[in-house]
Amino acid sequence: MKKILSIIIPSYNMEKYLPQCIDSLLVEKIDSLDILIINDGSKDRTLEIGRRYETKYPQSIRVIDKSNGNYGSCINRGLKEAVGKYIKVLDADDSFEKSNLDEFIDYLSKVDVDLVVSDYDIVNESGITTKKNRFSLKNDLTIFLFKDVLLRISIPEFQMHSVTYNRNVFRNIAYVQTEGVSYTDMEWMFLPMTKVETVSFYGKVIYKYLIGREGQTVNTSVSQKAVGQTMFVVKHLLQIYSEHKDKISLYHKEYLEYRLREKTPSLYRICLIKIGDTVQYANLKEFDGILANQFPELYQLMENETVKAIPFHYIRYWRQKDYSDNIFLLRVIHKLVKLLKS
């Protein structure tokens, strides 16, 4: 049977969550699914669990066992293996809304666009929805132009959890996600979007995004430890932008620029406010120099960044002073932020 949707599931030590993830895909129209469990050198029972499902549903589930290469390597392998009309990434600790999946498959079989956008929920460990993300558009087969969508929908609303790409998008670009580091999911929303011209909206929840598990990369403490990897990925996004900005349409260029403005401030916040010591200052100073020399507009925009609820331009202050002499003030700001949150 022709596969309508390939689902790439990067999996590293996910024995606790993988069964629930896969169970959410076991619907009536499973024969239309191409489910790729990419085992990234797990040290627990992830591979064993995946094989069990593969044996039971051999026409729809495939397990790809590979050595550890981090998130990006799983995406790259999945793209090589995928055969579906559309492609969607599903993290192994997340799940799909099972009650809507059959209808979503039917929707994808009827619509021919570069990108399908759907609603998603954020859930906690207990499965309780803590935030609903809705696009409030009709659940029909209307096709929009990407440039018009950008005028109607706020770009931050486009997240990995809400998008399903047509596989042809990846045939038209030499897309390789960065391997060996974490936090590369932001790349999924970057270069591929430059090949998106048509969009449709499926107005129901498909993705259920778990936030709160221990070791998750969105966890604040984990982000602090891995700030170097985040900086590496943002540098890569800047490089991609430099290579493609003169080859793409104005609206695609504006989209990439928005994504850079969205991601870059987090590096400064983590290094200067959340960590509050000298560990990453040297790397941040180097990164800041790259912005100043190669991306002056983005560099200037950082001047206006403030900490939430505190009207203090901390990046501007950091640049004006010797970066090793203002640790005390930045630590005070860090404490103030904590007090305001409590």
Residue by residue, DSSP assigns 232-276 as HHHHHHHHHHHHHTTTS-HHHHHHHHHHHHHHHHHHHIIIIIII-
Same domain, 202 and 253: no
Same domain, 95 and 172: yes
Mean pLDDT of 152-157: 76
Same domain, 186 and 255: no
Assign 317 a pLDDT band (cuts: 50, 70, 90). confident
Does any domain span residue 215? no
| 104-118, 150-164, 202-216, 312-326: least confidently modelled range | 312-326
Same domain, 234 and 196: no
Same domain, 191 and 335: no
Asked which of 181, 210, 239 is the last residue of a domain, the reply is 210
Residue 328 has pLDDT above 70, yes or no: no
Does any domain span residue 28? yes
Structure tokens at 335: 């404490």
Mean pLDDT of 29-54: 99
Q: Scanning the structure block, which residue is given the tokens 């809400």?
A: 162
Domain containing 299 equals 220-341
Asked which of 210, 242, 263 is the last residue of a domain, the reply is 210
Assign 180 a pLDDT band (cuts: 50, 70, 90). confident
Q: Is the pTM of this model over 0.85?
A: yes
Does any domain span residue 235? yes
Mean pLDDT of 183-193: 92
Does any domain span residue 86? yes
Assign 333 a pLDDT band (cuts: 50, 70, 90). low
The type of residue at 278 is: T
